[in-house]
Every structure is written in structure tokens, then in C-alpha cells.
Amino acid sequence: MAGTVKIEGGIAVITGAASGIGLGLARYAAKAGMKLVLADIQAAPLDGLAAELNTETLTIVTDVRDPAAVEALADKAWARFGAVDLLFNNAGIMATGFSWQIEPERWKRSMEVNFDGVLNGIRAFVPRLLKAGRPARIVNTASVGGFLPSPLMAPYSVSKAAVVALTESLHLEMRMLGDTIGISLLAPGPVKSGIFDDPFGAYDDPAAAGFVETMRTMLTQNGLEPEDFAARVFRDIEAGRFWIIPQPEALDPLLRRRIDCVFDRTDPELLDFSDL
């Protein structure tokens, strides 16, 4: 197991920090005494978040799809603070609709943000973290959807499943190199956010529109507040866990049923979101 990561007085980098899960992580980390590098593609909410936090904060407008931009993020983090203890590769978007109707540009954007954004973070930060030779942890945000493919959100399911595979591979690579850098896979269940308000979602199809409304209702009624969610995440970080599953009730029963489908060679089931 990698060494204990410094929380109080440590430095955290968070992508997708301006809203949802990223915002909750930033607020919790600030209260825990961390200095922050906050990255998002949206400048105004990013600056607004920084203004409310009672900690030293660096904000950097970053498009995680762009490898050069993420390299610049890493450069600026080290130039300002001289170290990074926690990296949250967290930026993510949603695209809904039937898989064959979703335009190529929305498919491309989903994969670039949700998967390439994580990969770009790994490529930019891992060499620097290895060179630093001190305990650190990378937390990649996937989703319960990375284990439980869903209709009408195939780009999200596909990209998040890829994040799961990449993160497991990265963990094993770090084991080969001696565990200096801890790796965690974060799989959120319902968290209150505006992810289903993404303007790249096409909701003109009645089935897609109904699905989106169901998901929005689920997030409103059953979703955790981002800061409550973040508290659970940091608990698992301090415990050094690879699998960070803050809402096991949203994953475990359905995942067991899915695994049984594979072993029994039965057809995949349509998920019942009331189970979440």
C-alpha cells in the first residue's frame, strides 16, 4: 500500500472543480486544511468558488481534452506549490439519447472529456509525482455507470468503463514500481449536480426526454449533497483504499445481478433506477 497522503497542509489538484462533485471535493479539502489548484473549463464559477474558500487557491481554466493544457496545469501547480499530494481527475460530462442517434461530435466530446481527460491527467502528473518520490494519490472519477451499462447514455457508460479499466491498470503499474503513488477509483452513485443539464444532451426524443427527467428526479430525491459525498471520499482516501464506492447501495446489488448474468450466460437486464 502506498504511504499515507498528506491532507492537512497538503496540496490537491481538482479538475471539473466548478460544479457538482468537484465543487464538493474542493470545499471539503479546503476545510480539511489543504491548498488547492482548481481547474475547470468555466472561468466565472471557478473564480467564484475560489473566492469563497478560506485557503490558498490557484485557479486555472483548463480544457482537459487538450494534453498541452493539462501539462500546463501540472507545471503551474508545481510552480506555485512545489508539490502535489492529491490529484482528482474528475471532470466529466453526460450525453443522452439512443446510441445510433447521438451525433459523432457528442460521442467524441464525451470520450475526450470523460476518458482522455483522465488519461491526460495521468500523463501530465505521474512523471512529476514519481520524480518527487513522496507519497501521493491519484483519484480517477468513474461512476457506478462504469460497471452498470445503461440505455440512453451509452457515451457515459462506455467512457466511464474505460476509466475503470485504465485506473486498475495504473494501480498495477504503480505496484510494479513500488507503490509510491496510491491510486483510487471513485465510483459515485447519485450526487446532486447539474450533469443532466449539459447543453450537449439531446432530449427531443420522447424516450430520451423521459429518461433524463427520471434521472434528474433521482438526483434530486436520492442524491447526496456534494460535500457529504466528499466527506465519504476523503474517509476512504485516508484509509488508502483503491475502490472508493461512497454509495455501495447504488452499486452492489445491481453489480451482483450483472455478474450473475455473465456467469449464467443470461441476457443483460434493464436497470431499475428505483433501486438506486
Q: Which residues are catalytic?
A: 156
Rounded Cα distance, 162 and 265, in Å: 23
DSSP 77-119: HHHHHS--SEEEE-------B-TTTS-HHHHHHHHIIIIIHHH
Q: Which residues contact 166 (CB under 8 A, 6 or more apart)?
A: 115, 118, 119, 122, 140
Contact 88, 12 (CB under 8 A): yes
DSSP E strands, the chain: 11-15, 35-40, 57-61, 86-89, 136-141, 181-186, 243-244
Assign residue 139 a region: left if phi > 0, alpha if psi is -120 to 50, beta otherwise? beta
Phi-psi region of 245 (alpha: psi -120 to 50; beta: other; left: phi over 0): beta
Amino acid at 111: M
What DSSP string runs through 251-276?
THHHHHHHHHHHHHTPPPPPP-GGG-
Whole-number Å distance between alpha carbons of 79 and 221: 43
- Give the DSSP letter of residue 248: G
Residue 151 identity:
P
User: CA 275, CA 42: separation in Å to the nearest integer?
Assistant: 34
Helix, strand, or coil (residue 244): strand
